[in-house]
A and B are shown apart, each in its own frame.
Chain A
Amino acid sequence: MRAGAIHYFAYPITPQTEVAEYLARRMPEVGGVFLQAESEVAASNMIFGAASAGVRVFTTSSSPGISLMSEAMSYIAAAELPAVFVNIVRNGPGLGGILPSQGDYFQATRGGGHGDYRLLVLAPSSVQETVEHVMLAFDLADKYRNPVMVLGDGLIGQMMEPVDFSSVPTPHPPDKSSWATTGCKSRKPYLIKTLFLDPQQSEEHNRKLAAKYDEMRKHEVRFEKYNIDNDCKVVIVAFGTAARVCKTAVDELKRNGLRVGLFRPISLFPFPYEPLHEISETGTVHALLVVEMNTGQMIDDVRLAVADRKPIAFYGRQGGMVPSPEEVLGEIHQLI
């Protein structure tokens, strides 16, 4: 709401229903729209409709709900409209459970919906960062006219932490009058569509979208380096909650004089391939350890970045289990 987003359409699903419950009370107070849809399919298509009118619009859901929303995400990306989706990931596949997981990495970064499109994906590792990412997500969605996903997990979704809002900038949504369908008074009618029956036009449209994704790759790569210096021996790569656990392990290793750093991708698309590649090329680095709350998804991107030039180990927990710092330490000791 501080981002100027007062249109919200959603369907209840654990572990993030608290957002809907809060907004059901709060939105009417600011003259906004809260609507509990009949399904995630409907909620996401309401997002599609509201985005067409040029308002800042968003939804929050969790894994099975995001599967149902993937239809609309594909359309919204194709129609080049701004919208924000928050996925508080729970363990899957199927109904799975309601505990934290990072099992939706592929779905988020490779697109759960059909066709050749990308979401811009931000992965916070704290409540503070979630606030900052949601603000940023609206700006990026407007900038690229593309859906943006904030990919959290059940732990971040359920955790209470103090938040400082003073660091969050005031939003300035851009003028959308050149495309928003708000009635054709004193202008020609606008059309928002995704159907291109002519293959040449369709290819042109695909290339236009691809060029936009290339711009994101140039300008929107975000990551954090933690305790990475010139004599690092092992680099841990982790995002979100897993990265936070790894930070504790890195601190412990530092106290014991072991030189281990953490590389935390913040933008999962675009993935920080080049910065990670550079770090992996550092002479002292002899191995990388990828830690995820899944059976190994981001590791594919780490492999692309490292290009087989250094060994990559993997440690993952699944099913809602969260790795402990001690488990990460155990893995590191095997590598050093």
Chain B
Amino acid sequence: MASNLIFQCPDSMTDAITHYCPGCTHGIIHRLVAETLDELGLRERTVGVAPVGCSVLAYNYFNCDFLEAAHGRAPAFATGLKRARPDLIVFTYQGDGDLASIGTAEIIHAANRGEKFTTIFVNNAIYGMTGGQMAPTTLPGQVTTTSPFGRDVQTCGYPIRVRELLSALRTPAYIARVAVHTPRHVIEAKKAVRKAFQYQVQGRCFSLVEVLSTCPTNWGMTPIESTQWVQDNMVPYFPLGELKVPEEE
């Protein structure tokens, strides 16, 4: 009996085993990007830009040209690359420390200039690679190694909602927030990632998808507890959905 192939590793991913911790959702997010590149036939003209953080090694897992930027500078790096070669499909893959802290200036100005690349912004409310420090997206009261008594909004302010912040700008084409902690959310996330890349292919300006992600290791939870924590704590503060879609021309 002939068998039908219904699931396989996307061409845009390598066979490498990732270094990500059990229960971390970077792997899912990588896969959504890779599937999108496959489906839109973009792999051979795509250049990815890795951040500094846990996903600095993303270049080991994507089967396309890849570069590694300095901490927070991926949007500037991608600007130079895309301006030099407008025919390429360029995406940055950045975490919350990288994009929302050290690279705040770069992301705001790249978005505001309408640079024609796509940013996948992975928000897990903590610094992963350096071992669980407070991020600009750490939730009020959340305990991290540098907020040992919980994030105090009197001294640290409230977490930055990047989707909302960037949507205040007129120029960007597409800004959405998604999550990947349940299969239903993964399906929704895929749609947003696909749209973001489609808009880039169409030559529309800047697109960003914020993805709520997990960090069981630094949150001190099991993978299953982590997915529940996303639902109970992150989603209420970081509402899901598209906040900016292309203006009618």
Residues of A bordering B, CB below 8 Å? 7, 9, 33, 35, 37-39, 41-43, 45-55, 57, 71-72, 75, 181-186, 189-195
Contacts and interface: CB of A to CB of B under 8 A. Distances in A.
Given A38-B105, A181-B47, A190-B65, A45 B70 contact: yes
B68 A195 contact: yes
A185 B80 contact: no
Nearest to B62: A189
A39 B76 CA distance: 10
Contacts of B82: 49
B59 A191 contact: yes
B44 interface: yes
A287 B73 CA distance: 50
A194 to B, nearest CB: 6
Contacts of B50: 193
A34 B73 CA distance: 19
Best-buried of A35, A45, A191 by chain B (most CB within 10 Å):
A45
Contacts of B63: 184, 189
B229 interface: no
Contact of B85 (A182, A189, A190): A182
* Interface of chain A, main secondary structure: mixed
B38 to A, nearest CB: 14
Best-buried of A7, A53, A185 by chain B (most CB within 10 Å):
A53
B45 interface: yes
Contacts of A39: 105
A23 to B, nearest CB: 14
Interface in B40-80: 43-47, 49-50, 56, 59, 62-70, 73, 76-80
B191 interface: no
Given A53-B84, A182-B88, A191 B76 contact: no
B84 A38 contact: no
B44 A48 contact: no
B80 A57 contact: yes
Nearest to A72: B70
A55 B87 CA distance: 14
Contacts of A45: 69-70, 73, 76-77, 80, 106
Contacts of B47: 52-53, 181-183
Contacts of A50: 80-81, 83-84
A35 B181 CA distance: 40
Contacts of A71: 70, 73
Contacts of A41: 73, 76, 105-106
Contacts of B64: 183-184, 189
A47 B82 CA distance: 11
Interface residues of B, number: 36
B185 interface: no
A72 B105 CA distance: 16
Nearest to A74: B70
B79 A35 contact: yes
B170 interface: no
Contacts of B81: 49-50, 52-53, 181
A41 B109 CA distance: 12
B103 to A, nearest CB: 10
Interface in B11-54: 43-47, 49-50
Contacts of B79: 9, 35, 37, 42, 46, 49
Interface in B178-205: none
B67 A52 contact: yes
Contacts of B46: 183
Given A45-B69, A181-B65, A189-B66, 14 more contacts: A7-B80, A35-B79, A37-B79, A42-B79, A45-B70, A53-B88, A57-B80, A57-B84, A71-B73, A72-B70, A181-B81, A182-B65, A184-B43, A186-B44
B59 A193 contact: yes
A181 B77 CA distance: 13
A7 B106 CA distance: 19
Contacts of A7: 80, 83-84
Nearest to A197: B57
Contacts of A190: 65-66
The 7 tightest CB contacts between A and B, nearest first, are A49-B80, A46-B80, A45-B76, A50-B80, A49-B81, A183-B45, A49-B77
A210 to B, nearest CB: 22
A146 B63 CA distance: 27
B68 A49 contact: no
A183 B65 contact: yes
Given A38-B106, A182-B85, A183-B45, A191 B65 contact: yes
B219 to A, nearest CB: 24
B109 A37 contact: yes
Contacts of B83: 7, 33, 35, 46, 50
A47 to B, nearest CB: 6
Nearest to B49: A49
Nearest to A183: B45
A181 B67 contact: yes
A39 B110 CA distance: 12
